[in-house]
Chains A and B, each alone.
Chain A
Amino acid sequence: MFETPSIRLRGARPRVRDSGSLRPEEGGATPDLGSRLTSKARRMPSASAPSVRLPRPPLLEVTEHGLYCAAGDFHVDPWGPVARAVVTHGHADHARRGSRAYLAAPSGLPVLRLRLGRDARLEALPFGEERRLGDATVSLHPAGHLLGSAQVRIEHRGEVWVVSGDYKTDSDPTCEPFEAVPCDTFVTESTFGLPVFRWPAQATVLAAIDAWWRENAAAGRASVVFAYALGKAQRLLAGVDSSIGPLVVHGAVRACVDAYRAAGRALPAVHAATTLPRERLVRSLVIAPPSAQGSPWMRRFPGASTAFVSGWMHLRALRRQRRVDRGFVLSDHVDWPGLLGAVAATGAARVGVTHGYTGPVVRWLAERSGLDAWALPTRFTGEGGVEEEALEAEAPEEEP
């Protein structure tokens, strides 16, 4: 019934399989991570496995700080301070401050620096390159969610797990495309894991945004778009027709644009609201975080038309609740067919489902695909959109 989206399938397994001596790419000296065992990690059952091979402990477990790999003694996207964090991307519900060391994809580092602070110890692991952590071999693979967003592949004694983080299979010129990684166990997000979520063609949505902007510009009113400052905002900047008028960004968006540029991504020129004369402001497309809606910052754009850009705009109740003139459906998460296609492409027999509509996705995968599926608890429950947005508010908002 559902067409399977095209997904780039990784032809080969990661390049290096045997090396336990992979050198860090940057950051120089990396101390022996094995010595950084927390008291919690010591309680982990890795050493207690007797010679009887049968019930192996799962490679990843949910602990009080989130997903933990005992074999490698690291957490994936921990929600509390830990010794070693492997971070999928810079959204506030995935990258939390306070851990002692972070490992992430190189193109995501400038954003992580912004989110985690000047003093955080960040280390880059290029996509596809293997790194030995404890007894586990770890590599990162593009998740297509935003620039530098990664899936985490973990291999231990021949068993392979992949943690998707947030991901999308749609194309996005501002980030590396999603890559399906073959694995035994796939941990997938499920933010939009219901069959009512099927994204309209991206080109159609962008054309609709352009048309709305053009109409507003012609009528002499600014077009204010509320979108998550990290990821969605940059995708919009790259996707709209910048010949219609100037592009204006809120300070929170500006910071992320700079981080993208620092990582080598070209984006169109953007302006601050304060630097444009009024006659140009009224022809502009303004991109601001959702928290700017109704804030004094908006007084700069009297009579503006407003829009919200998010996968949630697929639902009428949420469009009405947003109280904006337009709701455009553009998501950085997979929709239902995208999710099912991605799961199938990994070839995984076991699927852990997290972040979203876990119950329906687990049941569907078990009943329809005959997979061994289960739900993983998430700290940030409820609808990802709402939480993401609440956390977004923690990011700097005022213009510098």
Chain B
Amino acid sequence: MRRFAALHRVLDEPARAGEREASLVAYFREAPAEDAAWALSFLTGGRPPRAVSAAALEQWAAEVADLPLWLVEASRRAVSDRAETVALLVAAVPREEREWPLHRLVVERLLPLAAATAEEKRSLLVATWRELPAAELLTFCQLASGTFKPGVSIGAVSRALAEAMASDAGAIAQRLAEPWTPSAAAFRSLSAGTVEEGAAARSYPFHLAAPLAGEPDELPGGLAAWRAEWHWAGARAQLVRREAGPLLWSRAGELITASYPAVAEAAEALPAGTVLDGQLLRWDDSAPRAEVPESARPSISYLAYDLLELGGVDLRSRPLDERRAALRELVASLREPRLLLSPLLEAASWQELRALLPEARARQAVGLLLKRRDSTYAAGREEGAWRKWSAAPLTVEAVLLYAQRGEGGRGSDYRDYTFAVWHEGELVSVAKASGGLPPREIEELDRWVRRHIVESFGPVRQLVPELVFELAFDAVEPSGRHKAGLVLRNPRVLRWLRDRAPAEAAHLAHLRARIPGAAGSVDGR
């Protein structure tokens, strides 16, 4: 646990470039396999079930540290994290520290916690608090209360493990995508991926679209040389189906298959040796979705718009029209409601296409994509082959409610902002955005922030709700994780509205109405 807690601290907090990777590699080299197995599981999202509620954790910590609950609460407000507050408070308890190997801590303490009665939970926790060295308490409290965050991507873990074991990262990532139970044997087998296996899992480098500068009339070849389709707002992914099970790769190079089980299941129907490019979208007609519980929501579909490999043959150097024809045929033969074809938009003129732009939002698209009919699927952002024609952004007038110091510059300006709109007489946060204002206004706002702090929560400053800003955003999405029940996609600060009173800011209903489901149209995530 000592080694794992130290590793987690490096991963969880800012570190020198390369230090994270080096720490991961060193950990996997040095840790015994039975411990490394659990570390690998925790770092790749396999966290143990929440064994103890944060409130109970706090209650017992108060008892053990002999502190009144009000003081624990005051402490939590300063620390801004429950598990950490508890870890810091119980560190004061007289202790008999001992070395706990990670796997034993998990098997003997963490796993029994989940099944224990309240009284047993208390005694297990208290015993562990007294035995763990102070530096390990935070990681333990996070694991016990289900608030552990790996602080590292699965891709990075796979790469580090591959380096430590001289095996293949792609193969490891693929094996990690399958359910597995942590054990020394499982760890050894997982980390022994071969290069051949890795190659079979790999996606292609994504072809990226460049923004359309100026008017489409100036594009070479005229409309006849181009295809148009919606530029969907969902998550882009390549769907790889080779000998093994289907894999979904994000643009960031992460294996995201496990997050989209329904799509993965549908993709079993693809013939081996197929690679698609497309977008993950939530097709949904039941509106408004904010009120539909997560479990009851229809799951996500894959909207394919390109075919990169078929029958094991790399098609990327073929012209788009040819790839597209093969894709249409392939998708049509599947009849899978979760594997769909992104439709082409037929238009007789650029003007007709332009007229479609205002519809984009309602269709959960951010604009149009223009693709040259003869274009190949090159790696990266080949100049001119694909163009993004973006619709005008949506806007909202919102009140500045919180600020936090931002990155870069002198490092101490308040430049990360949280904005809120009205709902039933209260302000609810709907968006976070950084900077976006001219440097002079950022400085002015920084000075204003320093004089208008109401309260501090860790690094976050709550402010007097006085200033109104205009924000731009690409879409509104329903969200069960946010208090407002929705989240703005890609919000940015447009301007400081100095003449607006906070009471004139927008209401939540204004944003709700912009959730595409609410308009009864196509929707995605």
- Seen from chain A, the residues whose Cβ lies within 8 Å of a Cβ on chain B are 1-2, 194-198, 200, 290-291, 293-295, 305-306, 314-325, 327, 337, 357, 359-360, 363-364, 367, 382-383, 389-390
Contact = CB atoms under 8 A, between A and B. Distances in A.
B359 interface: no
B404 A1 contact: no
Interface stretch (B77-85, B196-204, B278-286, B334-342): B77-85
B75 interface: yes
A1 B450 CA distance: 38
B356 interface: no
B294 interface: no
Nearest to B16: A325
Contact of A315 (B78, B404, B408): B78
B411 interface: yes
21 contacts: A1-B93, A194-B74, A194-B78, A195-B71, A196-B89, A198-B88, A198-B91, A294-B411, A294-B412, A315-B78, A315-B458, A316-B12, A317-B79, A320-B13, A320-B14, A323-B14, A327-B13, A360-B74, A360-B75, A363-B71, A383-B456
Interface stretch (B62-70, B219-227, B258-266): B62-70
B68 A367 contact: yes
Interface in B365-419: 404-405, 407-412
A293 B89 contact: no
Contacts of B16: 305-306, 325
Interface-centre pick from A1, A316, A360 (highest chain B CB count, 10 A): A316
Contact of B67 (A195, A323, A383, A389): A195
B148 to A, nearest CB: 13
A389 B410 CA distance: 13
B138 interface: yes
B15 A325 contact: yes
A194 B75 contact: yes
A357 B13 contact: no
Contact of A325 (B14, B80, B92, B93): B14
Nearest to A316: B84
Nearest to B135: A200
A290 B408 CA distance: 13
A2 B410 contact: no
Contacts of A325: 14-16, 19
Contacts of A316: 12-13, 79, 81, 84, 138
Interface of B: 12-16, 19, 65-68, 70-71, 74-75, 78-81, 84-85, 88-89, 91-93, 134, 138, 404-405, 407-412, 450, 453, 456, 458-459
B96 to A, nearest CB: 16
A320 B411 CA distance: 12
Contacts of A295: 410
Nearest to A226: B411
Contacts of A383: 456
B95 to A, nearest CB: 12
A315 to B, nearest CB: 6
Contacts of B80: 317
A1 B13 contact: no
Nearest to B19: A325
A2 to B, nearest CB: 6
Contacts, number: 95
A317 B76 CA distance: 12
Interface-centre pick from A293, A315, A319, A382 (highest chain B CB count, 10 A): A315
A167 to B, nearest CB: 20
A210 B85 CA distance: 28
A66 to B, nearest CB: 19
Interface-centre pick from A1, A194, A306 (highest chain B CB count, 10 A): A194
B135 to A, nearest CB: 9
A249 B88 CA distance: 33
A318 B459 contact: yes
A357 B14 contact: no
Contacts of A367: 68
Contact of A357 (B15, B67, B74, B138): B74
Given A325-B16, A325-B19, A317 B70 contact: no
Nearest to B76: A196
Contacts of B70: 360, 363
Contact of B78 (A196, A305, A363, A390): A196
A246 B78 CA distance: 38
B40 to A, nearest CB: 23
Contacts of B459: 317-318, 320-321
Contact of A294 (B74, B91, B408, B456): B408
Given A291-B410, A316-B138, A195 B75 contact: yes
A7 to B, nearest CB: 19
Contacts of B93: 1
Nearest to A192: B78
Nearest to A305: B16
B453 A382 contact: yes
Given A317-B458, A382-B453, A390-B450, A293 B412 contact: yes
A321 B412 contact: no
A322 B89 CA distance: 23
A269 B74 CA distance: 44
A319 B13 contact: yes
A390 B412 CA distance: 9
B92 A195 contact: yes
A196 B79 contact: yes
A327 B15 CA distance: 10
Nearest to A1: B66
A335 to B, nearest CB: 10
B63 to A, nearest CB: 11
A325 B23 CA distance: 13
Contacts of B407: 323
A336 to B, nearest CB: 8
B379 to A, nearest CB: 30
A291 B75 CA distance: 28
Given A364-B71, A390-B450, 12 more contacts: A196-B78, A293-B410, A294-B409, A314-B88, A318-B458, A319-B13, A320-B13, A321-B405, A322-B14, A323-B411, A325-B15, A389-B412
Contact of A1 (B12, B92, B134, B412): B92
A389 B81 CA distance: 24
Given A291-B412, A293-B411, A294-B411, A357 B453 contact: no
Nearest to B408: A294
Contacts of A363: 70-71
Contacts of A320: 12-14, 459
Nearest to B134: A200
A306 B84 CA distance: 24
Nearest to A323: B14
Contacts of A389: 412
A304 to B, nearest CB: 9
A315 B411 contact: no
A167 B462 CA distance: 29
Contacts of B450: 390
A225 B374 CA distance: 57
A124 to B, nearest CB: 35
B81 A317 contact: yes
A317 to B, nearest CB: 3
Contacts of A194: 71, 74-75, 78
Contacts of B66: 1
Contacts of A1: 65-66, 92-93
A193 to B, nearest CB: 10
B164 to A, nearest CB: 20
Please provide the 6 A-B residue pairs with the shortest distance between their CB atoms, ordered closest to farther. A317-B458, A294-B411, A321-B459, A196-B88, A293-B411, A360-B74
Contact of B412 (A195, A290, A317): A290
A119 to B, nearest CB: 29
B49 to A, nearest CB: 24
Nearest to A317: B458
Contacts of B13: 316, 319-320, 327
A319 B138 CA distance: 14
Nearest to A290: B412
